[in-house]
Structure 1
Amino acid sequence: MAAPLLVLGLETSCDETAAAVVDGDKRIRSNVVLSQLDDHRAYGGVVPEIAARAHVSHLDRLIRRALDEAGVGLGDLSAIAATAGPGLIGGVIVGLTTAKALALGAGKPLIGVNHLEGHALTPRLVADVPFPYLLLLVSGGHCQLLAVEGVGRYRRLGTTIDDAVGEAFDKTAKLLNLGYPGGPAVEATAKAGDPSRFTLPRPMIGRPGCDFSFSGLKTAVRDLAASLPKPLSDRDKADIAAAFQQVVGAVMVDRTRRALALMPAGAPLVVAGGVAANVHLRTRLEALAASHGTAFIAPPIRLCTDNAAMIAWAGLEHFRLGRSDPLDLKPRARWPLDAAAAAPGAKA
C-alpha cells in the first residue's frame, strides 16, 4: 500500500506564526496558529520587526507541536511547503528558511507557496470545488477578484487601486477608538448601529470593470467623525460603523456581480481572506450568488484568516502535479498570482 500524502505547511507572512499537517484525503491532521495580536495591539497595527522576531522565537516549537498532533515525523512527510511571499519580507524569510533547512535535513521536496494561492485553493480543501470558480479575496493587505482556472492558473479580474478593504476596516476602527484588530471591532459595533443615519460615498459602484477603491471612503469616515461633537457617543460610533459596513457590502456586491458576468455560467463564488469572516459581508455575497443561481462557498472562519493548513494544502496540490522548488528559492515581498495583470496600486 502506498504511503499517504502528507505535507507540512508553514505560514509566517504577517503576524500569525503557524504550522500544519494536511494529508491527501483532505484531512487536516494538525493546524497550529499562534497569534501575535497582543504584541502589536499597543501600536494599532502590525510592526514588521516585532513580527519577524516572534516568528523566530516560536516557529520551531509550533512545528514540533504540529508534527506531534498529527502523529508523524519528518520522515513520514511527502513534502514541506512554506509561504514564499507575498508578505512582510522578514517574516517570509523566517518561514522559508526554516522550511529549506527541514527539507534539506529530511531529504524532502520543498514547495514555495504563494500566500494568496493558499487562500485561493482553501475551498478545495473543505469541499469538492471544481475549476473554474470566482474568488473574492479580501483581507488586510489584499482585495482582489480572481478567476481560479486551475492550480497555478489565475486570472485577475479586479483589484484595489489604492487600499485593501481590511485596511479600511482597521483605519475606521482606529478613528472611532474601537480597538485592534479593526475588522471584528467594527463588525461588533455596527450590530447596534443605524446604517441609514449617515450617508457615505460608495466608491466605484456602477463604474465599468471590477476594481475597488477604499481611500475615499476612509477619508469620508474621518471627516464625518471630525464633524460630530466630541467625544463621540457610543451611538455615533455604532451608526458610523454600520454605515461604513453597509457601504463596503454594497461595493463588494457591485464589483463581484460584474466579475460573475465574466465567468462561465454556474461557476461558484468563493470568498476567502480575513475579511471573509464578516457575517454581514458573507450574507450579502451569499444572496448575490443565489440570485445568479450559483454556489456560494466560504471556508470556515478559522481557515479564512492566515493559517498553515491552507499552505500545506496548496503545497499538496502542487506536489500532486509533480512540482517542487530548488533550495535557493528566493522569498518575495510582492508576488501577484496573475503575473500578466496590470497592477495599479496592487498589494501583492
Structure 2
Amino acid sequence: MFQSCLPGALRSWSRGVFSTSTRPRLVLGIETSCDETGAAVLDETGRILGESLHSQKETHLKTGGIIPLVAQRLHRENISRVVQEALNRSAIEPSELTAVATTVKPGLALSLGIGLDYSLKFVRQHQKPFIPIHHMEAHALTVRMLHPLDFPFLVLLVSGGHSLLALAKGIDEFLLLGQTLDEAAGDTLDKIARRLSLRNHPECGTLSGGQAIERLAKEGDRLAFHFISPMGQNYDCNFSFAGLRTQITGAINKKEKEEGVEAGQFLSCVKDIAAASQHTVASHLAKRTHRAILFCKSKGLLPEQNPTLIVSGGVASNEYIRQILKIITDATGLHLLCPPSKFCTDNGVMIAWNGIERLKQGKGILSYSEEVSYEPKAPLGLDITSEVKEAAIKVPKLKLRTNS
C-alpha cells in the first residue's frame, strides 16, 4: 500500500488544489506492466476523455510467449506515441492535468521500468503530482468506475500472471484470501494452447492462447476427457494449475501416439481437450471462490445487503468461466459483476481510474520530485490465507453445468 510522502507544506497545498478548486480534476493513467502499452485521461466521474493502447499480442504470438527484452523494446518504442494520442484525443494539455498515475507493481521488471521512467520525466517536466499504482488494485477497482459499488466486496483476479482472491475493504485495504501457488490460470491456458499448436489452427491464428481454447471449446465435448480438479483435499482458497497442466499434457501425449500426430499437426479431439481443459480450470476457480464466499460470510466480512463478487483480469473475459462463477454466486446469494472485456485486460483506463480513487481520498499522492522504484513482485493487501486454511471450510457440491 502506498502512503503519501509529501512534505507537510506540499500536503497542505495539494489538499487545497484537490479539494477546493472548481476546475475538474483530471488524471493521466499509464500502464506498461506486461505487454500492453496503455494510456488514458479520465475526469473524476470516470468519464474517459481520451485513451490509446498498443498491444504486443501479435509479436508474442509469433514467438510463443512474452520475451521480456522484446516487451521492453516495444514499450520504449511506443510509449511516447501512446501517451500523446491519449492526450490529443482528450483535448487536454499536460498543464491541465491534476496528476499522473502509473503502474509500478507488480509486473515484468523491464516493462515496469519503461513506464516509470517515462512517467517520472513527464511529471518533473510538467510539475505534476505522481500516483504510483498497484496493478492488481487497479483491476479490483475498475468496476467502481462503471457501477455504484460500496466496500466491502469480494474480488477474484485472474490473468496470465495472477490468480488471487481478496476482500476489498477500501481503495488501498485488501485482505488476501488465496493466491496461486505456482502458475496463473491464464498462463496455464496459454501453455495448453501452445502444446496443442493452436497458433496454426485455422480458427485461432489471431487469438491468444486463452482465447483459442475458449473458441474451440464451444464445439468440444468437455466430458470426453476427465481431468481432476486440483487441491480437492486442501480446504483453503489457494490455487494450483501446474499439476492440472501436467495431466492435460499427458493426455495430449497419449492421443498423439494413438493417432500418429506429428508436431504442428492437430489431434482429431483437439476441441474436446480444449473444452475439458477450460471446464477444469473454471471448476477449480469456482470451488476456491465458493470457499472464499463461505469464509467471508462466516466472519461477517460481507455486507448483508447486496454482497458482491467482482471478477476481473484477462481471464475474466472468458464467458464460460463467467457462467460457471455465476452458478456459485447464485447459490450463495451474491451479485456477480465483471467489467466489459476491454477493461478486463491491461489498459490505461483502469490505472487512471485508480489514480482518481486515490486522488479523491488523498492517498498515495507523491510530489513530482520524489524518487519511486518499481517492484516486480508485490503482494496485494494483508495475507490471511493461513486463517482461511485454519477454518477448513468444506464446500458443498454443486453441479457446474452451463447451457453452452
1:98-133: CA deviation from partner (whole Å, max 9, x where unpaired): 111111111110001011111011011111111011
Helix, strand or coil at the partner of 2:81: helix
User: Within 5 A, what are the aligned runs for 1:1-348?
Assistant: 2-179=22-199, 181-205=208-232, 207-228=234-255, 229-231=259-261, 233-263=266-296, 264=302, 265=304, 266-323=306-363, 324-326=365-367, 327-338=370-381, 340=383
Q: What is the number of equivalent residue pairs in this alignment?
A: 343
Check conservation: 1:158, 1:211, Cα contact below 8 A: yes
Q: CA deviation at 1:136?
A: 0.4
Q: CA deviation at 1:307?
A: 0.3
Check conservation: 2:99, 2:131, Cα contact below 8 A: yes
Instruction: Supply the distance in 1 between the matched residues of 2:134 and 2:176 (Cα, whole angstroms).
Output: 15
Instruction: Supply the distance in 2 between the matched residues of 1:159 and 1:105 (Cα, whole angstroms).
Output: 39
Helix, strand or coil at the partner of 1:158: strand
224-233 vs 71-80, greater mean Cα deviation? 224-233
Q: CA deviation at 1:205?
A: 3.2
1:10-34: CA deviation from partner (whole Å, max 9, x where unpaired): 0001110111011111111122111
Aligned to 1:346: none
**TM-score normalised by structure 1 residue count:** 0.95
Report the residue type matching 2:209 in the other structure: G
Instruction: Supply the distance in 1 between the matched residues of 2:233 and 2:284 (Cα, whole angstroms).
Output: 9
Aligned to 2:393: none
Instruction: Supply the distance in 2 between the matched residues of 1:108 and 1:185 (Cα, whole angstroms).
Output: 42
Q: CA deviation at 1:230?
A: 2.8
Instruction: Supply the distance in 2 between the matched residues of 1:230 and 1:168 (Cα, whole angstroms).
Output: 25
1:123-151: CA deviation from partner (whole Å, max 9, x where unpaired): 11111111011100000000000101101
Instruction: Supply the distance in 2 between the matched residues of 1:287 and 1:27 (Cα, whole angstroms).
Output: 32
1:249-283: CA deviation from partner (whole Å, max 9, x where unpaired): 11111110111112224420000000000000011
Helix, strand or coil at the partner of 2:39: strand
Instruction: Supply the distance in 2 between the matched residues of 1:206 and 1:193 (Cα, whole angstroms).
Output: 29
Helix, strand or coil at the partner of 2:245: helix
Instruction: Supply the distance in 2 between the matched residues of 1:337 and 1:225 (Cα, whole angstroms).
Output: 36
Q: CA deviation at 1:325?
A: 2.5
Helix, strand or coil at the partner of 2:269: helix
Instruction: Supply the distance in 1 between the matched residues of 2:268 and 2:165 (Cα, whole angstroms).
Output: 34
**TM-score normalised by structure 2 residue count:** 0.82
Report the residue type matching 1:267 in the other structure: P
Q: Which runs of 4+ in 1 moved over 6 A?
A: none
Task: Evaluate the alpha carbon distance shift between residue 314 and residue 225 of structure 1 in structure 2; reply closer, same or farther with a 3 A threshold.
Answer: same
Q: CA deviation at 1:234?
A: 5.0
Instruction: Supply the distance in 1 between the matched residues of 2:253 and 2:331 (Cα, whole angstroms).
Output: 39
Report the residue type matching 1:54 in the other structure: L
Larger Rg: 2
Helix, strand or coil at the partner of 1:3: coil
Check conservation: 2:68, 2:110, Cα contact below 8 A: yes
Helix, strand or coil at the partner of 1:262: helix
Instruction: Supply the distance in 1 between the matched residues of 2:309 and 2:67 (Cα, whole angstroms).
Output: 34
Instruction: Supply the distance in 2 between the matched residues of 1:248 and 1:93 (Cα, whole angstroms).
Output: 32
Instruction: Supply the distance in 2 between the matched residues of 1:310 and 1:55 (Cα, whole angstroms).
Output: 18
Helix, strand or coil at the partner of 2:244: helix
CA-atom RMSD in angstroms: 1.5
Instruction: Supply the distance in 1 between the matched residues of 2:318 and 2:273 (Cα, whole angstroms).
Output: 17
Gaps of 5+ in 2: 1-20, 200-206, 297-301, 387-404
